């Protein structure tokens, strides 16, 4: 650990007759300098801090630093959502009607009633599953009651 004398741009506070207060102030100044240096490394810092300029073409743009807790939480969340999507697809396969092209269809109302017992995220999972090409349905969004008779189609899965 560096001594208070090593801090650039910081004058040591000298309070005569009260060394413990002087030590606390100097410790505060050291910690302040360390935190300022740490904040300078965060790309979203604004104001007086330097901003790391990542271009949109940089592969690290929009991604957390490798090995960070944020990256680990994101990977864990992605795995969890993937499992929920698999569970949703298996429910469609189990309770839906198999078509001649080996796809499976189910009405939104039936799927909603089946899946809300397990989770309240059925619409979000359907949107994510459609993004990955697992299911299809008309429209941008599904709403309970309004879209009860919309058919959701599960494409055949390769095992």
Tell me: the pLDDT tens digits for 75-109? 999 999 999 999 999 999 999 999 999 999 999 99
Q: How far is CA 157 from the centre of its chain?
A: 27
> What is the rounded CA–CA span in Å between residue 64 and residue 20?
41
Residues 6+ apart with CB under 8 A from 152: 92, 96, 105, 106, 107, 108, 111, 126, 135, 136, 137
Per the domain annotation, does 100 fall within a domain? yes
Task: Return the pLDDT at 7.
Answer: 54
What pLDDT score does 97 carry? Answer: 96
Report how far apart, in Å, the C-alpha atoms of 40 and of each of 5, 33, 56 are.
Answer: 22, 11, 20
- Between residues 28 and 42, the one the model is more confident about: 28
Closest among 30, 32, 56, 31 to 43, alpha carbons compared? 56
One domain for residues 2 and 59: yes
Q: What is the pTM of this model?
A: 0.61
Domain presence at residue 125: yes
34 and 94 together in one domain: no
Average pLDDT value for residue range 20-30: 83
Report the pLDDT averaged over residues 133-145. 93
Confidence of residue 130 (pLDDT cuts 50, 70, 90): very high
Predicted local confidence at residue 54, as pLDDT = 74
N- to C-terminal Cα distance for the chain?
57
* CB contact at 8 A, 122 and 76: no
Domain of residue 21, residue span: 1-63
Residue 72 lies inside a defined structural domain of this protein: no
Count of domains in the chain?
2
């Amino acid at each position: 650990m560096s001594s208070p004398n090593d801090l650039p741009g910081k004058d040591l506070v000298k309070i005569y007759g009260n060394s413990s207060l002087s030590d606390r102030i100097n410790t505060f100044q050291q910690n302040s300098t360390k935190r300022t240096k740490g904040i300078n490394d965060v790309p979203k810092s604004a104001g007086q801090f330097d901003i790391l300029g990542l271009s949109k073409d940089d592969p690290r743009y929009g991604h957390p630093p490798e090995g960070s807790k944020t990256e680990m939480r994101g990977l864990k969340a992605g795995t969890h959502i993937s499992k929920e999507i698999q569970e949703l697809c298996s429910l469609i396969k189990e309770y839906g009607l198999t078509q001649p092209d080996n796809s499976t269809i189910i009405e939104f109302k039936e799927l909603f009633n089946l899946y809300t017992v397990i989770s309240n995220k059925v619409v979000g999972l359907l949107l994510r599953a459609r993004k990955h090409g697992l299911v299809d349905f008309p429209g941008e969004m599904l709403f309970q009651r309004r879209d009860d008779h919309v058919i959701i189609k599960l494409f055949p899965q390769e095992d």
